[in-house]
Chains A and B, each alone.
Chain A
């Protein structure tokens, strides 16, 4: 019972490098989200998707792109990494957008940009 799986778990990038974070869920959820977690700031929404082939911007989308080509996968891309993008990234998914639906989270990706 995998749930939400993120890869990689850790990564160190040099400024200007690019990378893609992969999120995979096996629960047939429609909604998927990418958050970043920074000390003292909780989790902030980067991008989200309400179904296969759809994406939308969250609170802090600058410097990131996303794609949802398959329902089970949600990719987060950094085209040119900056030190300000050093953070822990969490992917989440939920079955629908009703008020009491639980969101399931991956274990996180710790990214350091030097």
Chain B
């Protein structure tokens, strides 16, 4: 079945370091891909998305490119801040059974130290 796999955490970085969180997916057809972020004590918020191959989603200095050939959607940021500490979820959505449901990866915890 369809699935999303993320790199295991926690990821611990110093402020201003470069961030990569790996995400790969398995799905038939042409899914849309999303990154959601969950700050401590809060619900999930959409960070960025991409709807077709080679699209690049970007927001708040974060970027991810939809790579169909490698079935990947890795999240990157050039210089992380303490305020980026959160749990990051990669997810996909397919046109399937009219549900609009999201399929999530297991989440990656990012800790940024001053």
Q: Is B73 an interface residue (CB 8 A)?
A: no
- Where chain B touches its partner, the secondary structure class is loop
Q: Is B20 an interface residue (CB 8 A)?
A: no
Complex Cα–Cα for A45 and B43 (A): 15
Tell me how far the C-beta of B55 lies from the nearest C-beta in chain A, rounded to whole angstroms: 10
CB-based contact B51/A99 at 8 Å = yes
CB-based contact A97/B32 at 8 Å = no
Q: Is B82 an interface residue (CB 8 A)?
A: no
Tell me how far the C-beta of B67 lies from the nearest C-beta in chain A, rounded to whole angstroms: 17
Complex Cα–Cα for A92 and B101 (A): 10
Closest residue of chain B to A3 (Cβ to Cβ) is B43
CB-based contact B106/A41 at 8 Å = yes
CB-based contact B99/A102 at 8 Å = no
Closest residue of chain A to B90 (Cβ to Cβ) is A42
Q: Please classify how large the interface on chain A is, using the bins under 10, 10 to 19, 20 to 34, 35 or more.
A: 20 to 34
Q: Is B102 an interface residue (CB 8 A)?
A: yes
Contact (A48, B43) CB under 8 Å given A42-B105, A43-B89, A100-B51: no
Pair count A-B, CB < 8 A: 64
Chain B residues near A48 (CB, 8 Å)?
A: 99, 101
Q: Please classify how large the interface on chain B is, using the bins under 10, 10 to 19, 20 to 34, 35 or more.
A: 20 to 34
Complex Cα–Cα for A48 and B98 (A): 11
Residues of B participating in the A interface, judged by any CB pair closer than 8 Å: 4, 31-32, 36, 41-46, 49, 51, 89, 93-95, 98-102, 104-107
Task: Given contacts A94-B100, A100-B49, A105-B36, list 20 more A-B pairs with CB under 8 A.
Answer: A35-B104, A41-B106, A42-B4, A43-B44, A43-B102, A43-B104, A48-B101, A58-B101, A97-B95, A97-B98, A99-B51, A99-B93, A99-B95, A100-B32, A101-B100, A102-B46, A103-B100, A106-B43, A107-B41, A108-B43
What are 23 A-B pairs with beta-carbon distances under 8 A?
A31-B100, A40-B106, A41-B106, A42-B4, A42-B104, A42-B106, A43-B104, A48-B101, A50-B99, A50-B100, A58-B101, A92-B44, A97-B95, A97-B100, A98-B100, A99-B51, A99-B93, A99-B95, A100-B51, A105-B36, A105-B43, A105-B45, A108-B42
